Amino acid sequence: MARLEDFLEGVKTVAVVGHVNPDGDCVGACLGTKIYLTENYPELKVDVYLQKVKDIFGYLKYADEVLTEDPKDAACDLLILCDISAKDRIGCGAGLLSHAEKTLCLDHHLTNKGGYTWFYNYPKASSACEVIYGFMDPEKISVSCAEALYTGIVHDTGVFQYSNTSGYTMEVAGKLMDMGVDFNHIIDKTFFEKTYAQRRILGKVMESAGLHLDGRVISGVVTLADKKTYAIGSGDTEGIVSELRSTRGVEAAIFLYQLGSNEFKISLRSQDIVDVSAICAEFGGGGHVRAAGCNMKGTAEEIIDTLVNRISIQLEGNI
């Protein structure tokens, strides 16, 4: 396999960019890449462009140096895209795409169609961090870099409980732990620990959740009114769809987060049968076979009915 070093010939400036609303894997991948390049190649100027990084990831090296405004007309010798499933999913730093001399995309989304100078996509990988680890020389990975990569793997595998976790995933995680990563802190403080507001909105969603198709599908909604009542943002609802999915007897979970009048952000999760990436792709989204998302317009009831119908078609085909 190629190494990050193989893409650095003639490169003096590097920009590392992730997707909109960066999650743990995206943040870990971007910062892990910056740490690795900066520590091993100090002659490089490496900048990370991301939308605001959540405070829970503030322990990661260089988290306080992330640039949150699109550089627009700025240029770089090498643009590295981490965890980007499609060009329209690029967050802060999207303007660099048309100004970079060369672009390297490292990803793990089934729906990614590429279109870059170099494109490496491994849909069977647990996370972008797992992919990026494979492009690094293990002897050059510091504890700080290992912390970033471990964080991403933990978040995209749900602490190794999702179906995207493989034996290789556990092998990589073990090697990172052996480097001195404080894995207890990372798991407790960034994955399990929630704010009071997060606990309240989870309770509200679970209390009002609906069951469909004889209990094989569950749906939950956060409305604009809920956002105001519970004083929350989109980051406060992270993990709710997985909680819905873990309900006994459920094959697929639907979670709607209202963005505006008749517009919702959709998150889908499934257990063993339903390919939610195919459903989301139908509506302009994408992701993984068991975890995907998109945006849809309509009332919550209309959207849920549409998605339940799509899920039922797949379930009926597996009877």
**pLDDT exceeds 60 at position 275:** yes
Residues 251-274 have a mean pLDDT of 96
Strand order in the sheet with 45-49: 45-49, 13-17, 78-82, 102-107, 118-121
pLDDT recorded at residue 286: 86
- Taking the complete model, does pTM exceed 0.85, yes or no? yes
Checking if the pLDDT of 26 tops 60, the result is yes
pLDDT tens digits, one per residue of 74-113? 889 999 999 999 998 999 999 999 889 999 999 999 889 8
Do 156 and 25 form a contact (C-beta atoms < 8 A)?
yes
Which domains does the chain possess? 4-192 (3.90.1640.10), 196-316 (3.10.310.30)
pLDDT at 243 over 80: yes
What mean pLDDT is reported for the chain? 95
Using the predicted structure, report yes or no on whether residue 319 has a pLDDT greater than 70: no
pLDDT of 73 strictly over 80: no
Q: What pLDDT is stored for residue 8 in this prediction?
A: 97
Rounded Cα distance between 146 and 67, Å, is 22
Query: How many CA atoms within 13 Å lie on the side-chain side of 34?
Result: 25
Is residue 141 within 8 A of residue 173, CB to CB? The reply is no
| pLDDT value, residue 204 | 97
Asked if 33 and 8 count as a contact pair (C-beta separation under 8 A), the reply is no
